[in-house]
């Protein structure tokens, strides 16, 4: 039977809404009863409707959630698609946002590697663009040739890609440098800004005292000096273009802030052809407006600059995006500031931007964090304005939940101590690679000697009983612990499992593989770089580790999750 299109549409809508409520899988009974509730006229023909509901439901359940969302937005753009979109993410609705008409942007400066703070901003921008079926622009805020490098543009692009974010447009503020200069000139010509010839010290002093400098009152500052500024008559620091604000404003950001300065440097894209560069205070609002950005979100430290952002656009008669702030993300003890990180890389205290102690994306990736975990974590924080620094462990929980299912369980013993089991028969044990996931197994030949970790060994004495995991229970007969040669002797006393017996991991004598684990700790303690923030754990791992794919995640039992980093080395991810 073919249904009339209004009935099919009603079934589709009910099914889509239901599917989006239940992780993409609509429930047949619920859909039938809701369809009947919305269309009582169909009750009499329920028998013919049910097969149709089943057909629609199978079709819709086979779509990805993102496709279901788009479909619902297309079918019902005004009402529930929007309501639903706003509900599914941890983020609040955007002020004045309409489905299909939202443009957000992520505007990093390419002056370093992207870190967790960038991830938060980019994920929020991306999430809102998706939520409203809108667009995301990645715009490099590259108007300072002294700090920007091609390497950093690439690193940011890679970081964004790793996070699973696909911007609809990638551009540079520097692409528009002449346009920005033109707007700057226009602003000066219309007396909205002026060329200031004062030195930095004077500017600062006048700013703090709330005084206007002579340049502001001098009519030459608007025409002649402007021409000179762009024809190269001034040296760097000899002149700046300042906004004609209010030197007595309680908001110091309004006290004639700098909009352009002369910088002589080799810009990664423009080379040395340009000398007059806009500041972020000028480039950001103008670019946002010209790029069609509807919602400009930035971190809270810019809050005082919002007044300036709007004033610049007002004075240029440009459209104003909605500006809002969220709190910046930085973990306790893991600073993101380039001022703190760069010197440590330069003096080799850190091995590079991917040093596992850093909160850069490249380091988090190397350490075994997944982009999905970072996204879930960021969204769980929601739109907070609190300035507190969460502990790093709060991110770990999200990652653990994801990698737990597919991380092979293996044994690693740190600072190995030999344990000889006098009455042991050689045995070939089959060890499961995961307690519940289907990750296969491995077999290990054990004769009479295994290694255990020194931390475990040091707790043993004659008469102690322990269980060598998946093997047998032993009773310790003697313990020799010395720096040069340590040995423990024991006897097998059975195989029954008991809660009272401590279970420890081991590595068989003939299966040992020298192994090291890099353990990153907090980079900073008490506001100081901690020189002991990297620990190396050396020992033996099972040789099976060498069969695993490089960069995969494993869980060393009773030690923690690690990511294989090179042949005989892993990086500690978290417990």
Judge whether 95 and 40 are in contact, CB under 8 Å: no
Residue number, 213 or 504, with CB nearest to Zn ion: 213
Q: In terms of CB distance, is 196 or 316 closer to Zn ion? A: 196
- Shortest Cβ 234–Zn ion spacing (Å): 13
Minimum distance of Zn ion from residue 569's CB (angstroms): 58
Please state the φ and ψ torsions of residue 496, each to the nearest 5 degrees.
Answer: -65, 140
In the bound state with Zn ion, the residue whose beta carbon lies nearer, of 200 and 546, is: 200
Q: Are strands 553-556 and 560-566 parallel, antiparallel or unpaired?
A: antiparallel
Q: Which is nearer to Zn ion, 215 or 361 (CB)?
A: 215
Q: Which is nearer to Zn ion, 109 or 218 (CB)?
A: 218
Please give the sequence-ordered ranges of beta strands (E in DSSP) within 337-471, or none if there are none.
408-410, 412-414, 416-421, 427-432, 441-446, 449-453, 465-468
> 488 by DSSP, 3-state: which?
strand
Nearer to Zn ion, 196 or 403 (CB): 196
Nearer to Zn ion, 196 or 504 (CB): 196
CB of 196 to Zn ion, least distance (A): 3
CA distance 567 to 575: 22
3-state secondary structure 295-337: EEEEEHHHHHHHHHHHHHHHHCCCCCCEEEEECCCCECCECCC
Quote the least distance from Cβ 275 to Zn ion, whole Å: 19
Cβ atoms within 10 Å of 506's Cβ, excluding its own: 25
Which residue's CB is nearer to Zn ion, number 196 or number 468?
A: 196
Identify residues 514-553 at the interface with Zn ion (CB under 5 A). none
CA distance 571 to 573: 6
**Closest CB 243 distance from Zn ion, rounded Å:** 13
Q: Are 471 and 505 in contact (CB under 8 A)?
A: no
CA distances from 143 to 88, 118, 266, 269 (A): 37, 18, 11, 10
Cβ contacts of 555 within 8 Å, gap of 6 or more: 404, 407, 408, 409, 410, 561, 562
The residue among 222 and 556 lying less far from Zn ion, judged by its C-beta, is 222
Q: How far is the CB of 308 from Zn ion (least distance, A)?
A: 18
Beta bridge mates, 135: 103
Find the binding residues for Zn ion in span 184-223 (CB under 5 A).
196, 198, 213, 215
Compute the least distance from the CB of residue 222 to Zn ion, in Å.
13
- Residue (198 or 341) nearer to Zn ion, CB: 198
Which long-range contacts link 341-349 to residues 24+ away (Cβ below 8 Å)? 341/112, 342/112, 344/529, 349/529, 349/531
CB of 192 to Zn ion, least distance (A): 16
295-299 and 322-326 strand pairing: parallel
259 binds Zn ion (CB under 5 A): no
User: Do 463 and 493 form a contact (C-beta atoms < 8 A)?
Assistant: no
Distance CA 167, CA 126 (A): 8
Q: Which CA distances in Å does 104 have to 127, 166, 342, 486? A: 10, 13, 30, 63
Q: Total number of residues binding Zn ion (CB under 5 A)? A: 4
> Minimum distance between the CB of residue 258 and Zn ion, rounded to whole angstroms?
11
Q: How far is the CB of 239 from Zn ion (least distance, A)?
A: 9
Beta partners for 508?
A: 450
CB-nearer residue toward Zn ion: 197 or 295: 197
Query: What is the nearest approach in angstroms of Zn ion to the Cβ of residue 198?
Result: 3
Which positions lie near Zn ion, rule CB under 5 A? 196, 198, 213, 215
């Amino acid at each position: 039977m073919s249904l009339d299109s209004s009935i099919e549409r009603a079934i589709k809508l009910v099914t889509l809404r239901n599917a989006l409520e239940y992780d993409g899988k609509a429930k047949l009974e619920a859909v039938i009863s809701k369809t009947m509730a919305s269309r009582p006229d169909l009750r009499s023909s329920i028998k013919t409707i049910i097969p149709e509901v089943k057909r629609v439901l199978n079709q819709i359940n086979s779509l990805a959630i993102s496709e279901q969302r788009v479909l619902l937005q297309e079918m019902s753009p005004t009402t529930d698609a929007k309501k639903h979109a706003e509900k599914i993410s941890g983020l609040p609705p955007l002020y004045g946002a309409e489905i299909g008409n939202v443009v957000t942007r992520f505007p990093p400066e390419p002056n370093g590697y992207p870190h967790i703070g960038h991830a938060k901003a980019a994920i929020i921008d991306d999430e809102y663009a998706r939520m409203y079926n809108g667009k995301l622009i990645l715009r490099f805020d590259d108007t300072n040739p002294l700090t920007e490098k091609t390497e950093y543009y690439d690193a940011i692009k890679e970081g964004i890609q790793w996070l699973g974010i696909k911007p609809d447009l990638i551009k540079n503020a520097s692409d528009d440098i002449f346009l920005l200069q033109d707007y700057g000139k226009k602003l000066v010509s219309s007396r909205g800004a002026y060329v200031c010839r004062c030195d930095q010290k004077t500017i600062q002093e006048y700013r703090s005292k709330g005084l206007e400098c002579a340049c502001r009152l001098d009519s030459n500052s608007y025409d002649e000096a402007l021409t000179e500024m762009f024809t190269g008559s001034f040296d760097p620091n000899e002149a700046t273009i300042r906004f004609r604000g209010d030197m007595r404003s309680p908001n110091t950001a309004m006290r004639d802030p700098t909009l352009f300065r002369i910088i002589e440097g080799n810009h990664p894209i423009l080379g040395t052809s340009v000398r007059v560069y806009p500041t972020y205070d000028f480039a950001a609002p103008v670019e946002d407006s010209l790029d069609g950005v509807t919602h400009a979100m930035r971190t809270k430290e810019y809050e005082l600059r919002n007044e300036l952002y709007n004033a610049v656009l007002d004075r240029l008669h440009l459209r104003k995006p909605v500006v809002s702030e969220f709190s910046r993300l930085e973990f306790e003890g893991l600073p993101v500031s380039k001022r703190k990180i760069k010197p440590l890389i330069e003096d080799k205290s850190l091995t590079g931007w991917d040093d596992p102690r850093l909160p850069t994306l490249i380091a988090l990736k190397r350490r075994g964090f997944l982009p999905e975990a970072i996204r879930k974590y960021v969204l769980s924080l929601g739109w907070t304005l609190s300035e507190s620094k969460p502990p790093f462990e709060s991110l770990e929980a999200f990652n653990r939940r994801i990698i737990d299912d597919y991380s092979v369980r293996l044994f690693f013993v740190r600072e190995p101590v030999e344990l000889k089991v006098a009455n042991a028969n050689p045995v070939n044990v089959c060890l499961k690679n995961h307690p519940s996931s289907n990750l296969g197994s491995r077999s290990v030949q054990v004769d009479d000697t295994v290694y255990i970790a020194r931390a475990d060994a040091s707790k043993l004495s004659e008469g102690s009983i322990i269980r060598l995991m998946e093997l047998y229970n032993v009773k310790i007969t003697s313990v020799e612990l010395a720096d040069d040669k340590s040995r423990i002797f024991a006897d097998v006393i059975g195989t029954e499992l008991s809660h009272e017996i401590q279970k420890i991991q081991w590595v068989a004598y003939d299966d040992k593989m020298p192994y090291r684990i890099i353990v990153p700790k907090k980079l900073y303690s008490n506001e100081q770089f901690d020189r002991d923030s990297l620990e190396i754990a050396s020992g033996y791992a099972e040789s099976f580790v060498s069969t695993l794919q490089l960069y995969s995640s494993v869980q060393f039992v009773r030690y923690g999750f690690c990511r294989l980093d090179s042949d005989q080395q892993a990086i500690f991810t978290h417990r």
